[in-house]
Amino acid sequence: MTVGGWHAARVSDVRIQTAKARSIRLEVSAWPGSIAGQHVDLRLTAEDGYQAVRSYSLASYGPGETIELAVDEVADGEVSPYLVRELRVGDELEVKGPLGQYFVWEPRAAAPTQLIAGGSGIVPLHAMVRAATDAGLGASMRLLYSVRGLEDAIFRDELDGAHAGGVDVSWVFTRRAPAGWGGRTGRVDADVLREATWSADRQPAVFVCGPTGFVEHVSRLLVELGHDPARVRTERFGGK
């Protein structure tokens, strides 16, 4: 049932992604489908009628009435701790969407595509990886994923398998590198971008998603490296 743009949704699966992140699959009645990179508003209603609304990116794309989110817990948050710690299969909530037309990727995109994620910013970019792989366009896409340590990587298993679809996946570990890691440990800098991303002369479409500080830092470096600011699209994560 859909009322006022809100779709009834039922939790069909909850999976552990990291120590403080879960992916959540929802069965959504009358869902119209979505484009990779879009998001939804999610509404929870308490027994006393109190409601809380937060926005979450979709890790899924395309038609069908199943959508997937991934939520990283914010310790002092109002909504994310419930979604990560308490939500169970069979629980019901509401979603509105899909929302957003700017931060999206579609197979008709002709240019090479560079994805750069920080932490839970991987979620909408993972939808783009899935879409490119399914369309047979994985070789035109690269992903640079920055996390504190490998144990903090959301959708790690799927990303490890993305190479099979042609997507070039590179990692940056800012605090704890895994055993045998041959690269550097630290934040993304200009040298990392030169080594692991499409160069500006290829005129790639670039999508950067993550915490505000990360997004601003990476976007500035990209422009300094010659990327056209108009081709660098950003999305910042917030909300609790």
**Residue 240: its pLDDT value, please?**
56
**Residue 161: its pLDDT value, please?**
83
Q: What is the CA radius of gyration of the chain?
A: 18
**Residue 238: its pLDDT value, please?**
59
- Transcribe 178-204 into DSSP letters: PTT--S-BSS--HHHHHHHS--GGG--
CATH topology of domain 113-236: Rossmann fold (3.40.50)
Residue whose tokens read 């440990």:
185
Q: Residue 95: beta bridge partners? A: 7, 42
**Residue 142: its pLDDT value, please?**
97
Query: 157 to each of 12, 145, 153, 196, how far by Cα in Å?
Result: 20, 13, 9, 20
**Residue 111: its pLDDT value, please?**
79
Q: Residue 62: beta bridge partners? A: 34
**Residue 46: its pLDDT value, please?**
87
Which CATH architecture does the domain made up of 2-99 adopt? Beta Barrel (2.40)
- Rounded CA separation 20/233 (Å): 27
**Residue 105: its pLDDT value, please?**
97
**Residue 1: its pLDDT value, please?**
56
**Residue 108: its pLDDT value, please?**
85
Note the pTM of the prediction, 2 decimals.
0.95
Low-confidence residues in the chain, pLDDT < 70? 1-2, 110, 238-240
Backbone angles phi, psi at 216, to 5 degrees: -65, -40
| Domain spans, the chain | 2-99, 113-236
47-73: b or e for each residue (b if 16 or more CB lie within 10 Å)? eeeeeeebebbbbbbeeeeebbbbbbb
